């Protein structure tokens, strides 16, 4: 596990707001050397804290206003095959394995309720899917965010360098 210090948190906040920001601009805004930002970014990437730089797509704006969450029960031993089939459905944004009655939580974006129905039928048609339950999102009350949690982790960890193994937890 890697600790996140205040500089890491500030860097992550800037990268979240502008994933295409240049190292020199980040260094200037943070008041640190370019090499400091470059080494922090490299460490955050190498440790998996930052796994990519993606645009934040507003799905309704691009014609996908219907957002649904689908819980899916799978037949024992078929989860891997179900996941392979889900990867082939473009409307599936993500799928999480879960505990409880349902084995998967799947997030879907669709252009209409009718198209959502077609996607659900495709999911139900996957060999190994035993049952699904669907919840439609009416609005997104809190958009996906990371900064409040990063800030919380930073305050818990305290100040200083955030490399793995720097802290003596004794």
* Domain residue extents for the chain: 6-54, 59-137
Between 110 and 57, name the one with better pLDDT.
110
Residues 126 and 59: their CA atoms lie apart, in Å, by 26
pLDDT over 70 (residue 39)? yes
Give the model's pLDDT for residue 160: 47
Confidence of residue 22 (pLDDT cuts 50, 70, 90): very high
Q: Which CATH number fits domain 6-54: 3.30.910.20, 1.10.3720.10, 1.10.10.10, 3.30.200.20?
A: 1.10.10.10
**pLDDT confidence tier of residue 161, bands split at 50, 70 and 90:** very low
What is the CB neighbour count within 10 angstroms for residue 162? 24
CA distance 38 to 51: 16
Q: Are 143 and 96 in contact (CB under 8 A)?
A: no
Which range, of 13-27, 62-76, 107-121, 140-154, averages the lowest pLDDT?
140-154
Phi-psi region of 85 (alpha: psi -120 to 50; beta: other; left: phi over 0): alpha
* Mean pLDDT in residue range 109-121: 98
Tokens of 89: 């459905």
The CATH class of 59-137 is alpha beta
> Looking at residues 45-67, what average pLDDT do you find?
92
Contact between 93 and 109 under an 8 Å Cβ cutoff? The reply is yes
What does pTM read for this prediction?
A: 0.79
Quick one: tokens of 71? Answer: 């819980």
């Amino acid at each position: 596990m890697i600790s996140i210090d205040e500089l890491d948190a500030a860097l992550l906040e800037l990268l979240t707001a502008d994933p295409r920001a240049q190292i020199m601009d980040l260094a200037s805004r943070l008041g640190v050397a370019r090499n400091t930002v470059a080494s922090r970014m490299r460490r955050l990437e190498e440790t998996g804290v930052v796994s990519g730089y993606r645009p934040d797509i507003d799905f309704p704006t691009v014609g996908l206003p219907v957002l649904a969450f689908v819980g899916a029960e799978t037949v024992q031993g078929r989860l891997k095959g179900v996941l392979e089939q889900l990867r082939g459905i473009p409307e599936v944004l993500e799928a999480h394995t879960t505990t409880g009655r349902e084995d998967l939580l799947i997030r879907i974006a669709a252009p209409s309720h009718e198209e959502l129905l077609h996607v659900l039928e495709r999911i139900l048609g996957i060999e190994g899917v035993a049952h699904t339950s669907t919840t439609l999102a009416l609005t997104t009350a809190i958009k996906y965010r990371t900064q409040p949690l990063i800030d919380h982790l930073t305050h818990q960890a305290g100040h200083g360098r955030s490399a793995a193994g720097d802290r003596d937890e004794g």
